Amino acid sequence: MGLSASEADALALAHRMRAGLAHQTRDRWWRDLRFYRQCFLGADAVQWLRKECNCATEEEAVARGNVCVRYGFLAHVTGDHALETGERTLFFRFDDQRLHAAEERAKMSKEEVARKEHEAIRVMLERLANGAEEARADLAEVMTRIVVLEQEVRALAMAMALCLLALALAVLLGSRFAAAMLAVAAGAWLVNVARAAGFCSEDNPLEAFVELQTGLLSRVGSPPSMSMQMSVPSPAPTTLAEERAGKAPPPTLPAATADTQSDARGAPSEVLPRVYSLSARWGARTAVPPPAEWPSRPVLLCVNSVIPGMVTTEHGSGPLPIGVPIPFESELFVGTLLVRLKGVPSDDPSGDAAYFMGRKRLFQAIVQGRFKEDIAVSDVVTGHEFTKPLRRLPPSWVVSAGSAFIRRLAPGARIELAGKSARVLALLGATSQTLSVEAPGMEPDIRSDVREESTLLGGAFRGGSVSARKRKRLLSDPRWASTVAYTTEPIYTFDFYQHLLDAKEYRLDLGFTTISLAPSLNGQPIQIMAKALDGRYLWSFQLWHEKLL
C-alpha cells in the first residue's frame, strides 16, 4: 500500500486523538494578542495519550504524539514546537490536508503510487527548468550590475585617495587651497557613496555634486555646531504592493519653515517628535582585568558596570563569555545577550563556526527579552558613547558635512563627534538587521537564525508581512517611530550583525582597505548599548581590545 507501517499507525492514532479531543478543540486567543482557530492545548493532548495509549510516563506519551507531529498530521499553530512535557501553554491543531492525503495514499495500489510519484517528479523537473531560465536572466542582470559597481568602486577609490592627499596638504600647509581641495574630494567621495547606495540620480550626479560642494565649501573657516538637530517630515505611508513595485515615495527634506505640517496622504500629524539633549550620561567603565586574564584574548566582553541597575547575575563585572547566551537585567529591560565574533576564542566554537560558515559576517550581537515599561519606539536609541575626545578626526567642517549627509539618510540619527565627548546614536528599531516581536512562548531561539516578525508592534505593522527593509525605513524617521511603542507583554529579539567590524584585529574591513579603530578611540572601547532618551539604559556592554591599553 501507499503508507509505511509507521505512518499507517500514526494516521490511525491521529484519527483517535481527533475524536478524543473534539470537545477540547475550539477557537482560542493567545493572551488577547493573537487568535487561532480550532486548536487545543498540547498538555490536553499529552494527557489523552497517556490515558488512551496506556503510557507509563509523560515522556512516553509525548514520544507517541510526536510521531504524528513528525508525519505532519498534528502541528503547532506556528510550526515552531513539538509536544513537550510540563505546563507550557502551546496550541496545536490537526492538519486536514495531510490527513486526507494520507488516507488517499492508503487506498492506492503500489502501481498508482508509482504513477503519481512519477508525475510529481515530472512537474518538479519542469519547475526546475523554468527556474533555471529565470536564474539565467537574473544572473545576466547581476553581472551587468557588477560591471557598473566595479566602475563606481574605482571612482570611489580615486576620490578617497584624493581626499587623503588633500588632508595631508591641509595638515602640512594649512592653506585654504588645500582645504578647498579636500572639500572637492570629500564631495566627490560622498556623491559616489550616494550613487552606489541609490540616493542620488545615476543620470545627473553633477547636480548632487554641486549641491554637496556648495554646502562643504561654505563651511571652510566657519565650522558649525555639531549638536545641530534637523527637522524632517514624515514619509507618506505606503502599501506593501507599492514597496515591492518600487513606487514608495522616499522621505523628503522640509523647506526652512518653523513648522512642518502633515502631508495629504495621512502621515503622522504631530509637528515635531520630542527632542532630548541626552545629557544624562553615567560614564564608562575604565578598569578592566589585565589581558592575560581575558578568556577571549585579544578581546574582552564585559558589562559597563558604572550604569545603575545594569547587572549580569551569573558573571558580575568580570569577563563575559563569547558564543553563549548571557542573562542580564537593567532599569528598563530584562533579557539575554549573545555575542559572536569571528576569529575570537569562543565558549561555543562549533556554534560560532556553524553561524559564520558561508557568510561574510564578522560580528553578531543578538538581544532578547522584555521591556519593564512601555516606551515609544522613537525614544530608544542604540550606538556608541564616549566620555573622552576622539582622535585623528578630519577638520570639523568635513565631519559636519558628512554628519549632515548621514542625517539626511537617517533623520533619527544623532551624531556628535567634536568636543570633549562624542556619540553616534540611531533609533534602535531602525538599526537592528532583524526584529522579532512575539508573544511569550513563541519567541525564537537566539542561537538559531531569527526571522523578521513585527506584527505585534501595531500601527503600520498590524497587518503583518512588513519586510525588514520597510521596517527600517519607517522607524528611521522619528515621526513614524513615535506612532508605535515597545510594550511590556511581548518578547523582543534584536539581531545586529555586520561584515565590516573585525573584532579580532579591532578594525573596519572595507574590502579595498582597512581602518584601525584603536588610534581614534583614545583608549575607549566600542559598545553594545541601547538607552532611552531620558538617560536610562536598556543594556550597556563594552567590547575591549588589548590595543586600547
Write the DSSP assignment of 212-261 as a string of letters.
HHHHHHTTTT-PPPTT-----PPPPP--HHHHHHT-PPPP-PPPS-S--P
Rounded Cα–Cα distance for residues 20 and 25 (Å) = 10
- What pLDDT is stored for residue 155 in this prediction? 61
3-state secondary structure of 152: helix
Rounded Cα–Cα distance for residues 93 and 307 (Å) = 47
Provide CB contacts within 8 A for 310, sequence distance 6+.
303, 304, 328, 329, 330, 331, 537, 539, 540
CATH assignment of 5-108? 1.10.10.10
- What pLDDT is stored for residue 94 in this prediction? 92
3-state secondary structure of 336: strand
Q: Confirm if 110 and 1 have CB atoms less than 8 A apart.
A: yes
Domain ranges of the chain: 5-108, 113-217, 276-548
- What pLDDT is stored for residue 366 in this prediction? 98
Dihedral angle, C-alpha 432, 472, 509, 401, nearest 10 °: -120
Rounded Cα–Cα distance for residues 302 and 298 (Å) = 13
Rounded Cα–Cα distance for residues 519 and 498 (Å) = 22
* Averages of pLDDT over each 10 residues, the chain, 549 residues: 80 91 90 87 91 90 91 88 85 90 76 77 86 83 80 61 46 40 50 48 40 37 34 38 41 36 42 42 73 94 90 89 96 97 95 94 96 96 88 68 61 74 88 95 95 93 90 91 95 94 87 82 92 94 93
- What pLDDT is stored for residue 456 in this prediction? 94
Provide CB contacts within 8 A for 26, sequence distance 6+.
38, 39, 40
Q: Which residues pair with 508 in a beta bridge?
A: 501, 515
DSSP code string of 491-518: EEEEEEEESSEETTTTEEE-SS-EEESH
